[in-house]
């Protein structure tokens, strides 16, 4: 990991790594996604964030059969689903469940294990329409991987709006410029959904020792100092250290997710739907799922 560069003469943090999304693939029959980052890139640089899938905006025709991804397990982390267009329904073996629509966020803590399904809502299926989602995987510290599963349904109206220069940030989790987002997190982090209202700069003061990732979803975006482009469906990681400010420059209509968090500094072994600290724990997770210890859907 790079530790030498911090900030520049302007006091802005430097953008030091860019990752581009992989090829398009389907998750079940409901989510046409590209994986923007995943742990085999550089788990330490990304921590506490593990993976991000973007289901870019696409149109679904009306249907009588609900599309989505059927029953599957997770253990050791949290799945955070951001709905930008369309509606998804979720239900899981711990009794969690709900429906989220545009602007809402579903924060599912798998911890010791859940089995769940993620489907287009019945109403969206019948009506059809545009669909866009992001699913982010947030790691749990070793001490909490085998904790109790949880579920938070966070609605658009709950997120504080913060004007950040040319952009408006919706604060999903953590603290930013005196505001606090509603999501309960297991380790310190700040997550902002950022939309540019006009061409210009957005500056954010975020703890400089934290991982800071900016995932561009739509529109033109440059970041850091010197300014470097982050094309759509790429993620930029900022250098840690120093006392700098995270600088983004966007054009009107640009959309990005800002993910900042205290790194866990623990080994990451990810395999399919499980994110643990070592291989033995992955084997145990597979066995526990197969023997029904993660429960089943009602
Ligand atoms: Mn899932």
**CA torsion angle for 48, 213, 87, 148 (degrees, to 10)?**
10
pLDDT confidence bin for 7, thresholds 50/70/90: low
CA of 287 to the centre of ligand 1 (A): 18
Tell me how far apart the alpha carbons of residues 259 and 136 are, in angstroms, rounded to a whole number.
10
CA of 74 to the centre of ligand 1 (A): 7
Taking only the tens place, the pLDDT of each residue in 281-295 is 999 999 999 999 999
Percent of the chain with pLDDT over 70: 97
> Does the pLDDT value for residue 9 go beyond 80?
no
> Does the pLDDT value for residue 236 go beyond 90?
yes
Tell me how far apart the alpha carbons of residues 286 and 273 are, in angstroms, rounded to a whole number.
9
CA of 116 to the centre of ligand 1 (A): 6
CA of 101 to the centre of ligand 1 (A): 17
pLDDT of amino acid 2: 42
Element (H, E) at 43: helix 39-46
Query: What does the mean pLDDT of the chain come to?
Result: 94
**Residue 255, CA distances (Å) to 17, 166, 215, 238, 249 in order:** 19, 12, 9, 18, 11
> Are the C-beta atoms of 241 and 267 separated by less than 8 Å?
no
Fold of the domain built from segment(s) 15-290: Jelly Rolls (2.60.120)
The separation between CA 140 and the C-alpha centre of its own chain, rounded to angstroms, equals: 14
142 class by beta-carbon count within 10 Å (0-12 exposed, 13-18 middle, 19+ buried): middle
CA of 273 to the centre of ligand 1 (A): 7
| Strand, coil or helix: 286 | helix
| Strand, coil or helix: 143 | helix
CA of 246 to the centre of ligand 1 (A): 31
Taking only the tens place, the pLDDT of each residue in 85-118 is 999 999 999 888 899 999 999 999 999 999 999 9
Q: Which of 20, 62, 7 is nearest to 245 (CA)?
A: 7
Residues paired with 109 in a beta bridge: 78, 150
> Does the pLDDT value for residue 6 go beyond 90?
no
CA of 9 to the centre of ligand 1 (A): 44
Taking only the tens place, the pLDDT of each residue in 57-89 is 999 999 999 999 999 999 999 999 999 999 999
CA of 72 to the centre of ligand 1 (A): 6
CA angle (105, 109, 113) in 5-degree steps: 140
> Are the C-beta atoms of 49 and 137 separated by less than 8 Å?
yes
């Amino acid at each position: 990991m790079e530790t030498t560069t911090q900030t520049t003469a302007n006091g802005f943090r430097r953008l030091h790594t860019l990752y581009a999304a992989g090829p398009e693939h389907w998750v079940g029959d409901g989510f046409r996604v590209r994986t923007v980052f995943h742990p085999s890139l550089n788990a330490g640089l990304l921590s506490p964030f593990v993976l991000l899938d973007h289901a870019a905006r696409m149109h679904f025709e009306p249907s009588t059969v609900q599309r989505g991804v059927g029953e599957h397990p997770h253990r050791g982390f949290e799945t955070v689903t951001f709905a930008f267009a369309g509606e998804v329904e979720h239900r899981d073996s711990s009794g969690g469940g709900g429906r989220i629509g545009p602007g809402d966020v579903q924060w599912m803590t798998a911890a010791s294990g859940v089995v769940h399904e993620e489907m287009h809502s019945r109403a969206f299926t019948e009506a059809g329409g545009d669909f866009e989602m992001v699913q982010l995987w947030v790691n749990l510290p070793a001490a909490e991987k085998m904790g109790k599963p949880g579920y938070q349904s966070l609605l658009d109206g709950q997120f504080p709006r913060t004007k950040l220069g040319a952009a408006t940030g919706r604060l999903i989790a953590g603290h930013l410029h005196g505001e606090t987002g509603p999501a309960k997190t297991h380790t310190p982090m700040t997550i902002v959904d950022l939309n540019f209202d006009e061409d210009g700069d957005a500056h954010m003061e975020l703890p400089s020792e934290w991982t800071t990732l900016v995932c561009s979803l739509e529109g033109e975006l440059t970041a850091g100092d010197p300014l470097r482009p982050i094309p759509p469906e790429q993620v930029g990681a900022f250098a840690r250290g120093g006392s700098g400010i995270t600088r983004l420059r966007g054009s009107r209509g640009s959309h990005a997710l800002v993910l900042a968090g205290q790194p866990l500094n623990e080994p990451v072994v990810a395999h399919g739907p499980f994110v643990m600290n070592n291989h033995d724990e992955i084997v145990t997770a597979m066995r526990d799922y197969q023997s029904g210890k993660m429960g089943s859907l009602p």
